[in-house]
Amino acid sequence: MFNNKTKSETTESAVPTGSASLIGSGTSLKGDITSSGDLRIDGTLVGNIMCSSKVIIGANGVVEGDVSGQTADIMGKVTGTIKVKELLQLKSNCQVNGNLYSAKLQIEPAASFNGQCHMILEQPVANPGKSGSSSVKDDYSKSPSLAIS
């Protein structure tokens, strides 16, 4: 009556394409999480995170498993390997026990990190004219390493 859109047009436009997921404080999960949007963990996860966007581990967040994503901000506790294609930020009072793989790394003074740091090259944008692609796993295995004690 008031607009010319049908119900199906309204429903389709309301669906976000790059949505974010939240695991709230007080929530505990066991299992792996795969996400194409941003992911924030404020609860406890026993399992791996595979995200094609940004991963945020909040100040109360605990992850016992591997974390991989485009970028990551760690404010809580992670026990496992963290693999990030771009920028990894270890914020004050975070606790990380495991190896890090990242193109760029920022560690604040009060952060706790025990493990090895492997600096990788940022992935180049693929040329449409060239066939073949390098996998993220290949970039991690060819990177020089830096041990921090």
Higher pLDDT, 45 or 149: 45
Question: Whole-model pTM?
Answer: 0.72
Are the beta carbons of 84 and 68 closer than 8 angstroms? yes
Q: How far apart are CA 140 and CA 147, in angstroms?
A: 15
Q: How far apart are CA 51 and CA 98, in angstroms?
A: 18
The domain ranges of the chain are 19-124+132-148
> Going by C-beta distance under 8 Å and a sequence separation of 6 or more, which residues neighbour residue 123?
85, 134, 136, 139
Task: Tell me whether residue 141 is exposed, middle or buried, using C-beta atoms within 10 angstroms of its C-beta: 0 to 12, 13 to 18, 19 or more.
Answer: exposed
Mean pLDDT throughout 102-126? 88
Q: What is the pLDDT of residue 124?
A: 58
Are the beta carbons of 67 and 56 closer than 8 angstroms? no
- Report residue 26's pLDDT band, with 50, 70 and 90 as the boundaries: very high
pLDDT, tens digit, 9 for 90 and up, residues 28-82: 999 999 999 999 999 999 999 999 999 999 999 999 999 999 999 999 999 999 9
Are the beta carbons of 18 and 37 closer than 8 angstroms? yes
pLDDT, tens digit, 9 for 90 and up, residues 85-100: 999 999 999 999 999 9
Which value, in Å, is the radius of gyration of the alpha carbons in the chain?
A: 18
Residue 144 has pLDDT above 60, yes or no: no
